[in-house]
């Protein structure tokens, strides 16, 4: 489980094709803390398992590797990453840790498209077209994760579009400040909304 509070950004070193999917290699900053094989790490909001760790002797941080299976490649943006791209990173929430964002599973629901970007004071206004079917889980002032960043939905538009306001800290600490119209972002809706929908369907006799 994650919170959507990005702890740092990493650099993509390689995305290698493999028979069973792809292998993603990232440069992870040292100040993120220890990263060990078998642990989970959210990469642009996608919960991945650390498959290998190496390097770090040059002082530039560790190199972490992750396996991207077909489901991950189909449902997220990670398969389109290229060397030099930056990605948002977050370690799992420790038991008893402080929940500062919202409950983020790292299970991406789909890929959205940036449709508008505008300056707003010291921050920025961002609009995203959601994948079809996800708009029913989103409400104004509710929570959503874009590329692993916990955000408050500031506006819900027709056609499945939402607007979010990015404060200066978010622009500086995450990759969202670099987004332009047409860019793709990983979207995870509030898991609570999904559970509520499931319970209501059961009450109506629509599901089991």
What is the pTM for the complete model shown?
0.90
CATH number (2.40.30.20, 2.40.128.110, 3.40.50.300, 3.40.605.10) of 8-90 reads 2.40.30.20
Task: Just give the CATH number of 110-197.
Answer: 2.40.30.20
pLDDT digits (tens, 9 = 90+) for 91-111: 998 777 777 778 899 999 999
pLDDT digits (tens, 9 = 90+) for 41-71: 999 999 999 999 997 655 567 899 999 999 9
Domain locations along the chain: 8-90, 110-197
**Per-residue confidence (pLDDT) for residue 195, from 0 to 100:** 79
Domain 8-90 matches domain 110-197 at the CATH topology level: yes
pLDDT along the chain (208 residues), means of 10: 92 93 94 90 97 74 93 95 96 79 90 96 96 92 96 94 96 96 97 82 62
DSSP 7-76: -EEEEEEEEEEETTEEEEEEEEPGGG----TT-EEEETTEEEEEEEEE--TTSS-EEEEEEE-HHHHHHS
């Amino acid at each position: 489980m994650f919170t959507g509070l990005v702890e740092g950004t990493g650099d993509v070193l390689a995305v290698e094709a493999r028979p069973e999917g792809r292998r993603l290699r990232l440069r992870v900053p040292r100040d993120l803390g220890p990263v060990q094989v078998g642990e989970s790490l959210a990469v642009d909001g996608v919960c991945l398992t650390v498959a290998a760790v190496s390097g770090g002797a040059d002082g530039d941080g560790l190199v972490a590797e992750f396996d991207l299976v077909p489901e991950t490649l189909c449902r997220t943006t990670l398969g389109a990453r290229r060397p030099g791209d930056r990605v948002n990173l977050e370690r799992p929430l420790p038991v008893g840790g402080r929940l500062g964002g919202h409950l983020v599973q790292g299970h991406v629901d789909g890929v959205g498209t940036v449709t508008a970007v505008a300056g707003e004071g010291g921050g920025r206004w961002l609009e995203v077209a959601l994948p079809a079917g996800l708009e029913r889980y989103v409400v104004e002032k509710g929570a959503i994760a874009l590329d692993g960043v916990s955000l408050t939905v500031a506006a819900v538009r027709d056609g499945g579009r939402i607007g979010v306001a990015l404060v200066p800290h978010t622009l500086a600490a995450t990759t969202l400040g670099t987004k332009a119209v047409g860019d793709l972002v990983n979207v995870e809706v509030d898991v609570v909304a999904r559970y509520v929908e499931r319970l209501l369907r059961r009450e109506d006799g629509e599901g089991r």
